[in-house]
Structure 1
Amino acid sequence: MSERAPAPLVVVGDALLDRDLAGTADRLAPDAPVPVVADCVERLRPGGAALAAYLAARDGRPVTLITGLGDDDAARRLRRLLEPRVRVIALPVTGPLPEKTRLLAQHRPVARVDRGDGRAAGATDAARAAIRSAHAVLVSDYGRGAADALRDVLAERPPEVWDPHPRGAVPVPGTRLVTPAEKEARLFADGGPGDDLRTLSRGAAALVRAWRAAAVAVTLGPRGALLSYGDNPLLFPAPAAHPGDPCGAGDRFAATAAGRLADGALVEEAVARAVATATEFVTAGAAGAIGCEPAGGTADRPPPRAHVRVHDPRGTLPARLGAEDPRALAEGVRAAGGTVVAAGGCFDLLHAGHVGLLEEARRLGDCLVVCVNSDTSVRRRKGDGRPVNPLADRIRVLKALACVDAVAVFDEDTPERLLARLRPDVWVKGGDYAGADLPEAALLEEWGGQAVLLPYLDGRSSTRLAARAAAAVAAAREAEAGGAR
């Protein structure tokens, strides 16, 4: 049975023409302390909403782009770059297409020159009809009039994804997912300069309410994305960090999320896929590696792939601190200005879901303390026959994981008393999706901490493993008895 074809997508927003002048720099100019960039190769590519449309089309889905576009030289060049992948519905404009030119040396930006002040000047019947009949809509609002011109029809048919920018308007109420970048989210939410999870979580929840959106996903660059429905956030860490040029990563994220929602995915599934795809995009050279024809006719040579490292967002402390006392470890990390992360559970039959959760939790800070239920606590929660592995074995296995810095044990049904002693900055729970309950969230707020959900690997469960093992033993015994007869 063949897979279903990707669903069509309508992209509404402000197109740009992006240009890279890429060369080498090994000396400074004699008349000013600036690098001399030589042997430049000029490459053109779609920018803004046109880049989001181009990337969605490159995924194999039918895409219609509704944007302000005239008949100036830059507009004609952009049309050639989009054909035949993207169908374009042009809105009337007041001036030439905006162009963004980056000067790069050794594939690193040195300067940027902007020109062109064209704005969308109104709607058309063709644009309105395309939105009303759309299977899914992505708005990429760069503040140049396209979303404003069509705001009334977008309000009638709220988009699946709205990718906002500071110069643009607020999303229409009812948008399914809004995807601001971290700096944009702080600006929109008036949340101040903090980049800690508590500040970001509160800001995202405030934006859900202010925008009357179903969900907000704040993109965090190499840290992944934080998804909020207005309550406990779900954090999707990036699988890897890349030191290269992130140009276009936000458009890649929005295009992927919109496409997955168009295909029928849940919001959480769409965000998870968008984080992974945006990471792959940056790893492969980001927008600078897009295979559009170069302006000068020279063969396009994308920048080389740089080394990919395992994501370590803080990097302020040794990876393995080795303290046996979890409380002393937490106090030492805090005293050094680090972030203390704690995660909890029974961890009876350790499986891939547990390991993935703990590895991602460790990436959120500078140490990870695992809070594990005692045997008595597990028995009260899970019933007779559990735990399968006694506490000493569970601790030994957890401590063997490179991502675990210390293990703390609690005998109660919940870890509140232990958390009050450790006072972690981040408390991590594994959950299917962001609707899960986090009873410890209020406690964390007492000392300025933040509770977050991390997605479990689907279908992994100690209870299921135990049931599967018991069923296998029962089947073997039955087969053995049948053979004896």
Structure 2
Amino acid sequence: MTRTSRMTGMKGPLVVVGDALLDVDVEGHAGRLCPDAPVPVLDELVERARPGGAGLAAALAVRDGVEVVLVTALADDEGGERLRRLLAPVEVVALRPLGATPVKRRVRADGQSLVRLDTGGPPGGVGPATQRALDAVRGAGALLVSDYGRGTVDAPGLREAVAEVASRIPVVWDPHPRGGRPVPGARLVTPNEDEARVLVGREGLEVQGPPHSLVGVRRRAEALCRAWQAQGVAVTLGSRGALLTYGSGTPVLAPAPDVPSVDACGAGDRLAVSAAVALGGGVVIADAVAEGVRRSAEYVSSGGPACLDARDGLVPAWQALRVPGGDGASDPDTPTVVATGGCFDLLHTGHIETLRAARALGDRLVVCLNSDASVRRLKGPGRPIVPEADRARVLLALECVDEVVLFDEDTPIEVLRRVRPAIWTKGGDYAGADVPELAVLEEWDGQAVVLPYVEGRSTTALVAAANGQGAQPKAGAAPAAHRARTGRTDA
């Protein structure tokens, strides 16, 4: 059994077919205007390159632990060489393009895009599909087509191979107005709202309905689903989620979580990858779309393509690495960041009251959350009861919580260095005692404060009561040594 089949249930790798691009972000700080024109001057420039298009889809999948084969066109030029290096963890089956590698450069100031510069010229087509490319398509456990209209999908022999396997494996097609039609029988096609409008016109379909209403979206999706002979079409709607139709009947709306949007570039690739993997594992279309929407929201909330720079690949939405307003103690004009920490396994009234009290001390509240592995080391193999992703989402649903940052260590020292809060809150039993994190707080003049417990509330006591081991004792009865390790109360 392969690594992929153990993790996803697929009987073969995820094969991504499509056009790979080189995406380059030039990031800088804009602190002044140019003297000869009203444009910002960028200092402290940092260049970050990553795969784009089908390359981004493959990179996202391999960071999910999925076995991936990418069939794409790669030129023998500087852009192509950079793409090869960036795609090193992915098995790449390269076809011969008839043009240069497309490169898209975004110039960004403090996270805001200013201009995009595209090079590489118009697509020149792609040479014939190699036998290795055809074998990869026929041996796929699931297939994702990322068609940006640069010729890979239409390489002689390749489209026919994709159409051949569509009757026996899930094929997810991520379309582009410059690309071709999906093959008949595709399991799922995932245009965004603007693409759906253009594609309806390209197909010559007569569809009525307000442009941005769900009625209009549903009618366009149904028309495309029938025209393409697809099993389902999910039109992505940004913060509203995605609307799935099977060509008739009541559509399914997969709502998106309410997350901050830092950079939505690549969100469609994230959704398509997640849906393809889920379908390859035997998940029904509606559930695969819902999974894609959830993963796409996590990706956007984590900074979009910037999260590819994280140490271990993609960072979940609740593991924010950049906290606006950090180090508020040193600048009176900067929002004051308050931080607290703990396991927060089985959220209870005591947690809520202390979180609200902590939030009232500043402008933003960051919760430093023990990972599942950290909780197990601290509390034993039976904990946590609630996994880290669910604990984080419950915390983020609270109005008083602005960010959640996951940490794997036994203490929050390193995560505090990243967040750099002006105020760090501790549980009531530290009143008058030295706070273990005091030394690291002094690195940026941060202040530790103690918040009183809500008497008679603790997760440990809730677990004991649920197991029939007696009534819930006072929260303050949790061992001080344990609270020192977790960085907060007996959460």
Shorter-chain TM-score category?
0.5 to 0.7
| Equivalence map 1:163-174=2 (5 Å) | 163-174=174-185
Structure 1 partner of 2:223: 206
Normalising by the residue count of structure 1, what TM-score does the alignment of the two structures yield? 0.59
Using a 3 Å threshold, how does the CA distance of structure 1 residues 151 and 276 change in structure 2: closer, same or farther? same
Structure 1 partner of 2:146: 140
User: C-alpha displacement at 1:280, in angstroms?
Assistant: 0.5
| Equivalence map 1:384-395=2 (5 Å) | none
User: C-alpha displacement at 1:27, in angstroms?
Assistant: 2.2
- Equivalent residue for 2:82, pick from 69, 77, 87: 77
Using a 3 Å threshold, how does the CA distance of structure 1 residues 30 and 238 change in structure 2: closer, same or farther? same
User: C-alpha displacement at 1:306, in angstroms?
Assistant: 6.4
**Aligned AA for 1:196?**
S
Cα separation, 2, equivalents of 1:153 and 1:46: 25
The answer as to whether partners of 2:261 and 2:303 remain within 8 angstroms in 1 is no
Structure 1 partner of 2:189: 178
- Equivalent residue for 1:103, pick from 101, 107, 115: 107
Normalising by the residue count of structure 2, what TM-score does the alignment of the two structures yield? 0.58
User: C-alpha displacement at 1:86, in angstroms?
Assistant: 0.6
**Aligned AA for 2:199?**
F
Using a 3 Å threshold, how does the CA distance of structure 1 residues 193 and 187 change in structure 2: closer, same or farther? farther
User: C-alpha displacement at 1:303, in angstroms?
Assistant: 7.3
Alignment size in residue pairs: 297
Cα separation, 1, equivalents of 2:39 and 2:117: 16
Are residues 1:41 and 2:46 paired? Answer: yes
SS of the aligned residue for 2:72 comes to: strand
Cα separation, 2, equivalents of 1:185 and 1:106: 32
User: C-alpha displacement at 1:195, in angstroms?
Assistant: 0.6
The answer as to whether partners of 2:262 and 2:302 remain within 8 angstroms in 1 is no
Are residues 1:122 and 2:124 paired? Answer: no
Using a 3 Å threshold, how does the CA distance of structure 1 residues 305 and 4 change in structure 2: closer, same or farther? farther
SS of the aligned residue for 2:33 comes to: coil
Deviations 1:116-165 (A, max 9, x none): 13542331111111111211110000000011111111111225200001
Cα separation, 1, equivalents of 2:273 and 2:112: 25
SS of the aligned residue for 2:49 comes to: strand
User: C-alpha displacement at 1:272, in angstroms?
Assistant: 0.7
Using a 3 Å threshold, how does the CA distance of structure 1 residues 306 and 91 change in structure 2: closer, same or farther? farther
User: C-alpha displacement at 1:25, in angstroms?
Assistant: 1.0
SS of the aligned residue for 1:290 comes to: helix
Cα separation, 1, equivalents of 2:323 and 2:51: 21
SS of the aligned residue for 2:272 comes to: helix
SS of the aligned residue for 1:61 comes to: coil
- Equivalent residue for 2:6, pick from 1, 4, 7: 4
Structure 2 partner of 1:217: 234
Using a 3 Å threshold, how does the CA distance of structure 1 residues 97 and 82 change in structure 2: closer, same or farther? same
Using a 3 Å threshold, how does the CA distance of structure 1 residues 195 and 305 change in structure 2: closer, same or farther? farther
User: C-alpha displacement at 1:169, in angstroms?
Assistant: 0.4
Cα separation, 1, equivalents of 2:6 and 2:84: 29
**Aligned AA for 1:14?**
D
**Aligned AA for 1:247?**
C
SS of the aligned residue for 2:16 comes to: strand
SS of the aligned residue for 2:59 comes to: helix
Using a 3 Å threshold, how does the CA distance of structure 1 residues 88 and 156 change in structure 2: closer, same or farther? same
Structure 2 partner of 1:431: none
The answer as to whether partners of 1:68 and 1:90 remain within 8 angstroms in 2 is yes
| Equivalence map 1:285-434=2 (5 Å) | 285-291=303-309, 304=322
- Equivalent residue for 2:212, pick from 177, 180, 195: 195
Cα separation, 2, equivalents of 1:35 and 1:210: 48
> Any unmatched runs of 5+ in structure 2?
202-206, 312-319, 326-491
**Aligned AA for 1:166?**
P
User: C-alpha displacement at 1:203, in angstroms?
Assistant: 0.6
Are residues 1:265 and 2:269 paired? Answer: no
Are residues 1:94 and 2:111 paired? Answer: no
SS of the aligned residue for 2:154 comes to: helix
- Equivalent residue for 1:55, pick from 40, 57, 60: 60
**Aligned AA for 2:269?**
D
**Aligned AA for 1:146?**
T
Structure 2 partner of 1:283: 301
Deviations 1:153-193 (A, max 9, x none): 11112252000011100101100000001100111123587
The answer as to whether partners of 1:54 and 1:82 remain within 8 angstroms in 2 is yes
The answer as to whether partners of 1:244 and 1:306 remain within 8 angstroms in 2 is no
- Which segments of structure 1 move beyond 6 Å, counting only runs of 4 or more? none
User: C-alpha displacement at 1:292, in angstroms?
Assistant: 7.4
Cα separation, 2, equivalents of 1:15 and 1:33: 36
Cα separation, 2, equivalents of 1:284 and 1:250: 15
The answer as to whether partners of 1:247 and 1:288 remain within 8 angstroms in 2 is no
SS of the aligned residue for 2:6 comes to: coil
Cα separation, 2, equivalents of 1:33 and 1:210: 49
Are residues 1:68 and 2:73 paired? Answer: yes
Using a 3 Å threshold, how does the CA distance of structure 1 residues 57 and 152 change in structure 2: closer, same or farther? same
Structure 1 partner of 2:407: none
Structure 1 partner of 2:254: 236
Mean Cα displacement is larger for which, 198-207 or 20-29? 20-29
SS of the aligned residue for 1:218 comes to: strand
The answer as to whether partners of 1:140 and 1:164 remain within 8 angstroms in 2 is yes
SS of the aligned residue for 2:199 comes to: helix
The answer as to whether partners of 1:14 and 1:145 remain within 8 angstroms in 2 is yes
Cα separation, 2, equivalents of 1:5 and 1:204: 32
Deviations 1:6-31 (A, max 9, x none): 33200000000110001111222222
> Any unmatched runs of 5+ in structure 1?
294-301, 308-485
Using a 3 Å threshold, how does the CA distance of structure 1 residues 306 and 68 change in structure 2: closer, same or farther? farther
SS of the aligned residue for 1:26 comes to: strand
Of the two structures, which has the highest relative contact order with CA contacts closer than 8 Å and spacing of 6 or more? 1
Structure 2 partner of 1:383: none
Are residues 1:156 and 2:164 paired? Answer: yes
Structure 1 partner of 2:453: none
Deviations 1:368-409 (A, max 9, x none): xxxxxxxxxxxxxxxxxxxxxxxxxxxxxxxxxxxxxxxxxx
Cα separation, 1, equivalents of 2:147 and 2:47: 27
Cα separation, 2, equivalents of 1:87 and 1:14: 15
Using a 3 Å threshold, how does the CA distance of structure 1 residues 146 and 193 change in structure 2: closer, same or farther? farther
Deviations 1:280-314 (A, max 9, x none): 00000011221279xxxxxxxx972569xxxxxxx
